[in-house]
Amino acid sequence: GEDVEQSLFLSVREGDSSVINCTYTDSSSTYLYWYKQEPGAGLQLLTYIFSNMDMKQDQRLTVLLNKKDKHLSLRIADTQTGDSAIYFCADITGNQFYFGTGTSLTVIP
């Protein structure tokens, strides 16, 4: 099956940029997603990118997709303490979604 990988932890200072990376193996994915999970809550969709795009910007969020290397990244500009959470990348292949292990982002005031 599909294999989606992320680093487990990231720590940044408030106001800096955060970059969370993800690699995947299935090149047939139509969409790739970034979800955010706050403690004790379900996952919420942050943003997504269609597979024929290289970049998508949405306010403080920038998604970059390198299809050749099967690499996806999420950049959060001007990171705030409220951005502390776990971030999951995911893709869809057929009817199934595949999630990475999640990256725990800690923002230091």
Could you list the residues that contact other proteins (CB under 8 A)?
1, 4, 8, 30-31, 33, 35, 40-45, 48, 50, 88, 90, 92, 95-97, 99-102
42 vs 109, beta carbon nearer other proteins:
42
Give the helix/strand (H/E) hosting 49. strand 43-50
Tokens of 4: 């989606």
In terms of CB distance, is 23 or 48 closer to other proteins? 48
Q: Which residues pair with 92 in a beta bridge?
A: 97
Beta strand 43-50 pairing with 103-108: unpaired
Of residues 92 and 105, the one with the C-beta less far from other proteins: 92
Nearest approach, Cβ of 73 to other proteins (angstroms)? 17
Distance CA 25, CA 5 (A): 9
